[in-house]
Chains A and B, each alone.
Chain A
Amino acid sequence: MSEIDSLRASMTTDFDSRNMDWYIDKIVQFLVFIAGISAIVFIIGIFAFITLEGFGFLLEDFSFREFFLSPFWEPSDEDAPEYGILALVAGTASVTGLAMIVAIPFSLGAAIFIGEFATGKLRESLKVLVELLAAIPSVVWGFIGLSIMNPLIIDLFDVPVGLNVLNAGIILGLMAAPIMTSIAEDALKAVPDRYREAAEALGATRWQVIYKTVLPAAKNGLLGAVLLGMGRGFGETMAVLMATGHAVNIPDSLFDPVRALTATIAAELGETAVGAPHYQALFTIGIFLFIITFLINLTADLIVRGIRKG
């Protein structure tokens, strides 16, 4: 037997025999598998939980017409409780809509500057700062809305109360902008350099390169960034609870106080008896929110994936 053969023999026995290393390997493999599928388990578990909790309401007190088309939310009334979420949906939609109007120019501009113009240290520090901005807790944003924006809006626009669509929209826009900026910047980076080189070779100026070549090529990724920012806005709770004024109301101007779906759950859930219709109605709102954000994120993901493949 040559030396190589003996070595090979010892190696195969080492690999085959179920020693310590073999077990460690299996255990690690199992743990990594669990961690890998945990996201799926959690999401199914959460959905099952909120559906179960809200199910009683869906079967008994729920009426599709009232729930989605009535603006009256008065679930604690003893004789005639009302479960209409139209005004709450209008509140969430108006605040999120304004937030997008605020956030899109900011984040697209920032992404274009960081991705296409800034270089070296400036670029790196800007990226770090944008990520830091995304890490500010939402309650701090709410505090800014409550104590800085509120008196500012009262002074500037001469309105009685500064907690309204405008306040919450701006706060939410500033909150969504950092996330949108970093995803949009990724999308711009994903555009191959040869596109830019080709455009420059044809004599395009720097702005023309971005405007005519890079932006159209990154279109899907940018759309995905906007949608993810919107999902963030839809699900945000603490900041909107503090900045909207928390009034059940269909707004007809920027200065009307409103109430968001998420804020309603946050403010009322702790004070309902487990299993009461009010409790279940709040969980039904939870199901509705879950489905909406799930759809927004799914669309965003599909769009972003689309550009990576193409």
Chain B
Amino acid sequence: MKRIFFVAISLAATTLFYTLTVNAADRTIIQNKGSDTLVNVAQAWAEAYRDVDANVAVAVSGGGSGTGIAAMINGTVDIANASRKMKSKEVKMAKGKGQNPIEHVVGYDALAVFIHNNNPANSLSYEQLKSIFGRGGKATKWSDIGLSVPGCKSDEIVVVSRQNNAGTYAYFKKAVLGKKGKFRQGTLDMHGSKDVVDLVEKTPCAIGYSGLAYATDHIKMVCIADQTGGECVNPSVETASDRSYPIARPLFMYTNGEPRGAIKTYLDWVKSDTGQCILLKKGYAPNRDVSCG
């Protein structure tokens, strides 16, 4: 017992000493918060950046684009990650509070439509997606779009969506349901992209959407067609990069005013070949052509 106590005390002491010495070395901390879509990449960037400049620490947390943008408006974050553009209202609110958000595109993300592995569908058209996801849409059963899904006895389409503050939610709504479109009542609103994938993986009747980077082998991605029965495009890093996949969105980082000092150096590095190759490795599309070794 005594020994455990001693170990705990010495541990605490070393931690304290470490914190003190590190603080003494004038370390800059960049607060980086927001989009769950970007959080994995942001963490990878932060980790790799440690080797670039040991005096700068990037503290990354997720929570959704809404969280990051809210933090930017409230002035509690240096860089906000977002998988959607800031709304005009949000920009106005930020200006009212003395912040001046500047937008930086750091990559692109394809939103994949996920279905259960048992689902025989290979391609779905915009029209079909609208009738499944949209308010007033006619497709509430899989047989409505001419499919029978093994393991889904009730034939009912279980629509999986995201909570209404997610950038993924906002982008999918705009891209698939149109500017005035709204989601149907009774969608299961998951709190994270991974929750959507997990639920669809376990539920034969389900259909959902999430960033391409969350795809696994246990789940099927739908090929998206402009017209029902027409030619379709599979979601991938390549089709997102060359803009042929229709549901791909830019990923943003917002700073308060033009970035300066450590924040500018960090953002430039993120947009550099090294930074963009890290993004590519995580399953997102770079913001320009890069060749990674």
Contact = CB atoms under 8 A, between A and B. Distances in A.
B205 A163 contact: no
Contacts of B158: 160-161
Given A158-B154, A160-B206, A273-B93, A267 B185 contact: no
B102 interface: no
Chain A interface size, under 10 / 10 to 19 / 20 to 34 / 35 or more: 35 or more
Interface string B179-200: 1101101111111000000010
Given A245-B188, A246-B190, A248-B189, A268 B154 contact: no
Contact of A268 (B89, B164, B182, B186): B164
B66 A275 contact: no
A108 B23 CA distance: 60
Interface of A: 71-80, 82, 87, 158-161, 163, 245-250, 256-257, 259, 267-268, 270-276
A75 B179 CA distance: 15
Contacts of B187: 247-248
B93 A275 contact: yes
Contacts of B185: 71-72, 87, 247-250
Given A247-B188, A270-B63, 7 more contacts: A82-B182, A160-B156, A160-B158, A247-B185, A248-B189, A274-B73, A275-B93
10 contacts: A74-B182, A79-B180, A87-B185, A160-B158, A160-B206, A161-B188, A161-B203, A161-B206, A268-B165, A271-B67
A276 B96 CA distance: 12
Secondary structure call for the A interface: loop
B115 interface: no
B206 to A, nearest CB: 7
Contact of A267 (B74, B163, B204): B163
**A71, A72, A163, A247: most-surrounded residue (chain B CB, <10 A):** A247
Contact of A273 (B63, B74, B183, B191): B74
B64 A271 contact: yes
Contacts of A257: 186, 188
